[in-house]
Structure 1
């Protein structure tokens, strides 16, 4: 199966920049989308052969996630069941007979790290949520997790230390996640790969100079490792400040 994750940074804008053509070319079984920036009824997206599931933020033009899937799930859950974390449309979970698929848009710690404390609370709650699922069946989750894990996951790591997405606190939470029984699928296949990123600022010709960050992931329960086939970062695909990431897996 082929899974895709993509932060589109506004789905209506992405549609104007060729989203549907890219979507059809990718021909994925399941696509997780982050940062749709939509409310219900603001887009009519015709994707033949796909079931569509949407989670909208209460705040207009902000956050939001979607999943488009060829395979109808057994059940769909919106959010993580914690009211303080479920107003921004950040999580959708699809249950299938032998796994869960989750799209996630992790909160950004923001300028001057104003949301770092909230981000830490979120991380604890989200890990508890996926651990609860993982106790039942394996988990595959994807999304813009808003953290570059290691120094090789961003171009200018020295000057960005303690910037949002590369604080010691955020990286420690990511370590805790992996230590809890999960695999960063890209690093599973390419543990030492450098200079491959999934997000580039719109400022300063960052993408042209490949001055980016790897903050978009596919994470799986460790017991799925022997089913992993490949994980890729599709850097040639434009239309957002993020590029899609891909997971190929036998299920």
Structure 2
């Protein structure tokens, strides 16, 4: 059970969500295993892809959250490269692309509403799917005279522009900006000391070094109607974690 557009109870019945996946890949090593290159590509076919917390009410000030579904497709690929130029240095690159979208949106009825799926999802792309991701990392080992060691690690992640909320057809243009998160860079660094017998370790870390706060989730709902009859938005945003740092002490018995 859920609530309909007027807030009255409404029964919701979904067809089974199914997934058929196709994937092909290759793993390769070169130069005496110093270089590793892995790649893969995929294509997913979803039947009845379900999404929740959708407000289907057209009454100002009333929220009637429910789950709705539509068929969906996703395709993309991943490239993973690991290179060890020296016995103490390691470089890694991991990059991926994903395109995920709904299909047949206009043919999908919405329980509790007289509208179809495309009214509540005016964009065919599935929210919160980041198209491009790339991470570059570097590790360097330092051997100390007492037999212990230190590993220095740093990585930079790139996230491309994505939209984190579904957008109704009747909302003003500002809704697109409210749901949009621009491309971002996030950096992490870690230094780890390990004892000679590897039974004791101490790590110091700083995550999100540049203190980059960006939207990771948005809520865009109907808040009113302007003079032309377009819906005004009430937007909420969830930000990423700020810069954090700390120490981690570990031991093995």
Question: Given the two structures, how large is their TM-score scaled by the length of structure 2?
Answer: 0.30
Higher helix share: 1
Higher strand share: 2
Higher RCO structure, 1 or 2 (CA under 8 Å, sep 6+): 1
Question: Given the two structures, how large is their TM-score scaled by the length of structure 1?
Answer: 0.30
